[in-house]
């Protein structure tokens, strides 16, 4: 039986593995000085003057962003219908409601026209816009920022798939009031699990750091022992130094990882161009000087999706839709009927294998199977 070509596979550099092993021999395996170092490195390389707050998951970073943005019980937040369900878990914690916006057919990112329409309908009930950069393809931030500015509400970027991406020369993480990153197992930069929140307003840094550690001011704790009060609900969201050292090493290789992903993505685009019944989503970004995606995954728009999925499986090639429209989950309020692009794409999108252990030859093999029809 031929080896399976996996859809995803975690990549941890040798230096990150060695750093984690070395850290495990030290006093600091929980949150310690390496977390501070990782945050500083992240600011230097990714977020610039936006403060970086390291946490234990991308989901935790989103929850902190919702709190810092002032999202409360009964508030509404607009976000794309299509994303990982974890994008909105923090809204449930805040007893807020997600209002689903439609997506674009060509990249599955949030549709600004529908965002604008929803704001006209719902007005001041909406307190923020969530923008997901699906597959590491930057959303239309100019248009979305114009809308957010007009309505005087913040944008919260879910950049779980977009570390290292750029929009018009700016890093994702330097643009909006809040940007949330994930370092989960199969992300471009992994700390096994972890996340980072970047915040534009430096006055929120101390509060963010209290919230991630039970509401405790750690500096005050060490200076005055336990004399300082806890006056707000906090969480166990802190990152460990073991994860942090993996993140420090991961930052050193992120450019190479993105470059390799781009090579694989380009091969998909070139090989599948002109093949009937299939097109690579986001293909035009390869020649778009305004954006620099991460190409974390390769998604295709395909006729007879299940037939292609079954054909690939016959050749031991994994594929899957992976994410699903979030209004399919009862916890988010149930199915909506004002997202026609999502309705059209629901049974058409499919993820093809994309990870650091794949080579261009593997992508060519996959495309050979696809060219044979399904």
- What's the pLDDT tens digit per position in 7-27? 999 999 999 999 999 999 999
pLDDT at residue 225 is higher than 60: no
- The pLDDT assigned to 1 comes to 46
Class of domain 14-250: alpha beta
H-assigned helices in the chain: 14-23, 33-42, 58-68, 89-93, 112-122, 141-151, 205-211, 218-224, 241-272, 305-314, 340-345, 360-371
6-9 long-range contacts (CB < 8 A, ≥24 apart) are 6/318, 6/353, 6/355, 6/357, 7/318, 7/319, 7/320, 7/322, 7/351, 7/352, 7/353, 7/354, 7/355, 8/186, 8/353, 8/354, 8/355, 9/186, 9/355, 9/356, 9/357, 9/358
Residue range 127-132: mean pLDDT, rounded: 98
Reported as a single tens digit per residue, the pLDDT across 311-333 is: 999 999 999 999 999 999 999 99
DSSP 3-state of 65? helix
Reported as a single tens digit per residue, the pLDDT across 64-88 is: 999 999 999 999 999 999 999 999 9
Report percent pLDDT > 90 for the chain: 94
Which residues fall within 8 angstroms of residue 151, CB to CB, at 6 or more apart? 119, 126
Reported as a single tens digit per residue, the pLDDT across 47-58 is: 999 999 999 999
Distances, alpha carbon 276 to alpha carbons 61, 360, 365, in Å: 41, 22, 18
Specify the range with the lowest mean pLDDT, choosing from 221-235, 252-266, 315-329.
Answer: 221-235
Residue range 291-302: mean pLDDT, rounded: 98
pLDDT at residue 218 is higher than 90: no
Residue range 282-302: mean pLDDT, rounded: 97
CB 106 within 8 A of CB 135: no
CB 174 within 8 A of CB 50: yes
> Could you say which architecture CATH assigns to the domain 254-371?
Alpha-Beta Complex (3.90)
Residue range 204-213: mean pLDDT, rounded: 96
Give the confidence band of 230 by pLDDT, cuts at 50, 70, 90. confident
pLDDT at residue 174 is higher than 50: yes
User: Domain residue spans in the chain?
Assistant: 14-250, 254-371
DSSP-based helix, strand, coil % in the chain, nearest 5: 45, 15, 40
């Amino acid at each position: 039986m031929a080896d399976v070509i996996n859809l995803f596979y975690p990549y941890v550099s040798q230096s990150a593995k060695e750093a984690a092993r070395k850290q495990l021999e030290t006093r600091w395996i929980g949150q310690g000085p390496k977390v501070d170092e990782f945050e500083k490195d992240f600011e230097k390389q990714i977020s610039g003057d936006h403060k970086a707050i390291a946490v234990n998951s991308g989901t935790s970073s989103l929850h902190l962003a919702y709190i810092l943005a002032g999202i409360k019980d009964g508030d509404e937040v607009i976000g794309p219908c299509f994303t990982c369900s974890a994008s909105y878990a923090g809204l449930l914690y805040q007893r807020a409601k997600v209002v689903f916006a439609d997506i674009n057919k060509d990249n599955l990112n949030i549709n600004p026209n529908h965002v604008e329409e929803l704001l006209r309908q719902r007005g001041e009930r909406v307190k923020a816009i969530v923008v997901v950069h699906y597959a590491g393809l930057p959303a239309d931030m100019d248009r979305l920022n114009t809308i957010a500015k007009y309505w005087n509400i913040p944008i919260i970027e879910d950049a779980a798939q977009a570390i290292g991406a750029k929009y018009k020369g700016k890093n994702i993480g330097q643009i909006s009031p809040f940007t949330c990153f994930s370092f989960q197992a199969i992300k471009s930069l992994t700390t096994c699990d972890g996340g980072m929140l970047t915040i534009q307003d430096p006055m929120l840094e101390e509060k963010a750091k209290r919230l991630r550690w039970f509401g405790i001011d750690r500096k005050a704790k060490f200076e005055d022992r336990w004399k300082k009060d806890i006056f707000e609900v906090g969480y166990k969201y802190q990152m460990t130094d073991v994860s942090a050292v993996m993140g420090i090493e991961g930052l050193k290789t992120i450019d190479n990882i993105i470059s390799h992903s781009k090579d694989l993505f380009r091969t998909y685009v070139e090989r599948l161009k002109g093949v009937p019944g299939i097109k690579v989503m986001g293909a035009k970004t390869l020649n778009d000087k305004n954006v620099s995606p991460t190409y974390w995954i390769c998604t295709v728009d395909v006729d007879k999706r299940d037939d292609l999925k079954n054909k690939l499986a016959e050749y031991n090639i994994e594929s899957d839709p992976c994410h699903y429209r979030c209004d399919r989950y009862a916890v988010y309020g149930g199915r909506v009927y004002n997202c026609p692009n999502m309705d059209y794409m629901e049974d058409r999108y499919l993820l093809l294998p994309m990870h650091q252990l794949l080579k261009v030859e593997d992508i060519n093999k996959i495309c050979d199977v696809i060219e044979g029809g399904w």
